[in-house]
Structure 1
Amino acid sequence: MSEFLPSISPEIASIAPGFRALSIRVAATKLTVPDFGTQQLQAACGFVQTGGPTWADAHLQAWAEVFRTFGAKPQRTPCSAEALRKRVLKDGGLPAIDPVVDLYNAISLRYAIPVGGENLSAYIGSPRLVIADGSELFDTMKAGEPATESPEVGEVIWRDDAGVTCRRWNWRQGVRTRLSATDQHMWFILESLPQMPLEALHQAGEELMQGIAHMMPGSVIDSHLITLSCISAEN
């Protein structure tokens, strides 16, 4: 695979000092072990109910503070990892969605970390994490119908050349780049703050890559650690 790295605006450093992410790209083969993702999701739900990792509360609280910094209300629109955790604690588990989605949701729960999974073939240009100016377009669903909305000015978003792919950093993914196990070009982003040990971030990425390799033997997978210091050095 050719070299690929998402970009992060230097402005993010003032909102989330110490932010780092693991970017994982997959050239996927055919799914041959479809039940693996659901099995991992069920196990991760059980782990959350027993308390989860020791850093979970501190890490998710740090994400809540970051959301407040750019004007989001984490009680109403929490980071994706917190939203999944709340559902598990309330309902006792999560329904299966898709083998690959189930797998990356399992990683999110097990490591208390926001994990995004995207269909890279649907991207127009490369992913980038930026501060919204409010003019960007985000495709979503409302009342079961396709709809378009715009982020708030100052909101942290992931986007490509066509528009917003995820609102409020990692709160809600768009429809256009939504991932499924039938997609051939996949991109995952595991996003952490300093309250999560760096070693744990690498472990989460390794577990995700091993899971993809098990479900889709022969897939080509690469990963890169992205830090704000790397981004600053490039600008």
Structure 2
Amino acid sequence: MPKFIVEDDFWTLFPHAKIGTVICEGIDNAVRDVAFYEQLLREAEKEARTFLDQEEFSSHPVIRVWREAFQKFKTKKGARCSIEALLKRVKNGHSIGTINPLVDIYNSISLRYGLPCGGEDIDTFAGDLRLTLANGSEPFVPLGSDENAPPYAGEVVYKDEAGAVCRCWNWREAQRTMLTEKTKNAFLCIELVDETRTDVFHRALNELADSVSRNLGGAVKVEVLDIQHREMTLLG
């Protein structure tokens, strides 16, 4: 059975982090009601404006904590946490487009709670999924590209035996493992580095699981990894 393992080198950098997971099995991710997901995102964008009340965009705590986190490891110039990228689009008046139900659901949760969310298709993984520091030789073709752009040595990445799955922790996902309408088994995650928002983190995680279960069927399980609990089984 494939596992998700958060390696020691990650915990050395981020001993207080929490990685919340929602494992989805046997879901139906086919697009049937675009209007529903568009409305879901529009409502989430309205709620996200509570994180845009600072005169300086990057000074809001939900963004600042991730700017500080990204300074602790090697990153590609200009790489930003996924929640910053979403909030910046809202701040600039751009709507978040629908992609497929799973992505739309986790984007809406990300916007509403000001936390980075992501997801991958478990059936595309080669062996175990790991959150760790890259050695710099991992193959990585970013979403929407066909060119290899491997991570830097020392960069925080999700990776499996075939290469990097997501670069700069939660900045850019791989084409190889992306969620599609055909996805049946999915790994969704919410990441926390700000201990003061632990309650918000758990609410977001439970709402993510409930929304997937309610709208896409299948079975979902929620599990949180931290420095005391560093690995889990993905399926079964």
TM-score bracket relative to the smaller structure: 0.7 to 0.9
Q: 1:47 to 1:228 in 2, by over 3 A?
A: same
Q: Using the alignment, how far apart are the partners of 1:114 and 1:145 within structure 2?
A: 22
Q: Aligned pair count?
A: 225
Give the letter for the 1:30 counterpart. Answer: D
1:69–1:30 Cα change, 3 Å: closer
CA 213–182 in structure 1, closer or farther in 2 if over 3 Å, else same: same
Cα drift, residue 59 of structure 1 = 3.2
Residues 152 and 131 from structure 1, CA distance in 2 versus in 1: closer, same or farther, beyond 3 angstroms?
same
Alignment partner, residue 12 of structure 2: 14
CA distance in 1, matches of 2:76, 2:24: 33
* Structure 2 unpaired stretches of 5+: 232-236
Per the alignment, residue 42 of structure 2 pairs with: 42
Contact residue 31 and residue 216 of structure 1 kept, 8 A: yes
CA positional deviation for 1:5: 4.6
Unaligned runs of 5+ in 1: none
Q: CA deviation at 1:52?
A: 6.7
What amino acid maps onto 2:219 in structure 1?
Answer: V
User: What is the CA distance between 1:63 and its match in structure 2?
Assistant: 1.2
Match in the other structure for 1:227 = 226
Q: Which residue in 1 is equivalent to 2:25?
A: 27
What TM-score do the two structures reach when normalised by structure 1? 0.87
What's 2:142 paired with? 140
Superposition pairs of residues 151-170 of structure 1, within 5 angstroms: 151-170=151-170
1:194, distance to aligned residue in structure 2 (A): 2.6
1:77-125 alpha-carbon deviations (Å, 9 max, x no partner): 1100111111111124212222221111111111111111111110011
Q: Indicate the SS of the match to 1:197.
A: helix
Structure 1 residue 197 corresponds to structure 2 residue 197: yes
Select between 80-89 and 186-195 the one with higher mean Cα deviation: 186-195
Deviation at 1:177, TM superposition (A): 0.4
Q: Residue 31 and residue 66 in structure 1: after superposition, are their counterparts in 2 closer, same or farther (change >3 A)? A: closer
Amino acid at match of 1:23: T
Aligned to 2:66: 63
Equivalent AA in structure 2 for residue 210 of structure 1: D
Q: Please report the RMSD computed on the Cα atoms of aligned residues, expressed in angstroms.
A: 2.4
Give % identity. 28
Equivalent residue, structure 1, for 2:150: 150
Sort the Cα spacing of 1:133 and 1:91 in 2 relative to 1 into closer, same or farther, 3 A: same
Which residue pairs with 2:234 in the alignment?
none
Which amino acid in the other structure matches residue 59 of structure 1?
V
